[in-house]
Amino acid sequence: MKKRLAAALAAASILAGAVAPATAQTFDLQSVFGLNTPSIGPSPKLWAERVKLMTGGKVTINVHGAGDFVPPFEVFGAVSSGALPMGFDWIGYWANQIPVANLVGSMPFGPEPDITLAWMFKGGGLEIIQKAYDPHGVVVLPCHLVGAEAGGWFNKEINTVDDLKGLNMRIAGLGGKTLARMGANTQLVPAGEIFVSLETGRIDAAEFSAPQLDVGLGFQRVTKYYYFPGWHQPSSWDSIIINKAVWDGFDSDTQQVMREACFANISWNLADQVNAQAEAIKTIRDAGVDVRRFPDEVLLAMQAAAKEVLAEEAKNDAIFAEALDSLTAYMDGVGEWARLQALPRD
């Protein structure tokens, strides 16, 4: 009996050695978002879980929330310098360092999620934007595709273009530059400070994300109006960013696992977003918020201003111009498919 037990233990030991990783590695990742932020918060944790599973435990990534190591808007610099090996972001936050991040993060009147997804991985988008990250020693993995946002939360009605003048609004990216051109006072407020800024009247309006995320942050308790559509961000990317030296330390199989884990993340999050919006909008209405659409004349004025902003940004940065030309051409080229397939609606 003892011999059989010893033999069984020896066999189990050999088997464990065959499947266990030769050298396990552990890395820290800090998100720019709190980990309890609806939808976006859990995203890097889901990615990390998939990486660990798909590497058979060879790579463990400990995910930390906003501010655990550095302030949220310093994550890119920390990853670039190597102070952090990895981060999770909304791409548009790094527009000061990488102008094209503004386009990828929020192109006003830009493509819907399916076109955005196709351009990034089939239309040459990733190759273009990685060129902008290279000088900073950062590898970007688009890892969470955000669907269309809402137009934002307001404590005053928007009936005409003039109603935007003097408006104090939290809005990021190119949408912020567009509204500033139209006379609004725009500013970037971290996600965790938006509620208090609205509640205290420091700002009159704010955009953050889609209803699923917005309702979880409680904005319906401190605003009167919720406007659609999300003209400033019909789709957007959150990403995993990895220090280049750390990335180069992974073998090619592990690098591919990380990419594949992002593809799984994108699929899961798109389904989650579509599933959650109707209930979120109902919750917002039940809280007494007036859910509206911007008037068409306001949207057309926004579109005209956005075109001017995009043209100016393209003049100032060659990679931004390359990406804008590529994405615009891609939207036009694949757009015929949607037009041919369009069905009549009652």
CATH topology match: 24-146+236-276 vs 152-233+278-329: yes
Looking at residue 279, its pLDDT comes to: 94
Q: Which of 273, 242, 266 is nearest to 255 (CA)?
A: 242
| Residues 112/234, Cβ–Cβ less than 8 Å | yes
Looking at residue 188, its pLDDT comes to: 87
| Residues 209/146, Cβ–Cβ less than 8 Å | yes
Looking at residue 18, its pLDDT comes to: 32
Looking at residue 330, its pLDDT comes to: 96
| pTM above threshold 0.85 | yes
pLDDT, tens digit (0-9, with 9 covering 90-100), for 43-85:
999 999 999 999 999 999 999 999 999 999 999 999 999 999 9
C-alpha–C-alpha distance, residues 70 and 32, integer Å: 9
Please tell me the total number of residues recorded for the chain in this structure: 346
pLDDT-based confidence at residue 11 (cuts at 50, 70, 90): very low
Question: Is residue 14 pLDDT above 50, yes or no?
Answer: no
pLDDT-based confidence at residue 22 (cuts at 50, 70, 90): low
Q: Please name the fold of domain 152-233+278-329.
A: D-Maltodextrin-Binding Protein; domain 2 (3.40.190)
Domain 24-146+236-276 has CATH 3.40.190.170: yes
Give the rounded percent of residues in the chain with a pLDDT score beyond 70. 94
Give the rounded percent of residues in the chain with a pLDDT score beyond 90. 83
Binding site members for Na(+): 208
Binding site members for substrate: 149, 170, 207, 233
The amino acid that residue 180 corresponds to is A
pLDDT-based confidence at residue 3 (cuts at 50, 70, 90): very low
| Residues 326/128, Cβ–Cβ less than 8 Å | yes
Question: Is residue 2 pLDDT above 80, yes or no?
Answer: no
Per-residue pLDDT, averaged over 11-34, amounts to 65
| Residues 86/27, Cβ–Cβ less than 8 Å | yes
C-alpha–C-alpha distance, residues 89 and 146, integer Å: 12
| Residues 257/55, Cβ–Cβ less than 8 Å | yes
Binding site members: 149, 170, 207-208, 233
Domain boundaries, given as residue ranges, for the chain: 24-146+236-276, 152-233+278-329
Candidate from 34-43, 179-188, 253-262, 285-294 with smallest mean pLDDT = 34-43
pLDDT, tens digit (0-9, with 9 covering 90-100), for 292-325:
999 999 999 999 999 999 999 999 999 999 999 9
| Residues 154/224, Cβ–Cβ less than 8 Å | yes
| Residues 156/205, Cβ–Cβ less than 8 Å | yes
Question: Is residue 148 pLDDT above 70, yes or no?
Answer: yes
Candidate from 96-100, 254-258, 271-275, 322-326 with smallest mean pLDDT = 271-275
pLDDT, tens digit (0-9, with 9 covering 90-100), for 163-183:
999 999 999 899 999 999 999
Q: Please count the other Cβ atoms lying within 10 Å of the Cβ belonging to residue 297.
A: 11
Per-residue pLDDT, averaged over 116-127, amounts to 97
Candidate from 4-8, 44-48, 135-139, 278-282 with smallest mean pLDDT = 4-8
Antiparallel, parallel or unpaired: β 168-170 and 185-187: parallel
**What proportions of the chain, in percent to the nearest 5, are helix, strand and coil?**
55, 15, 30
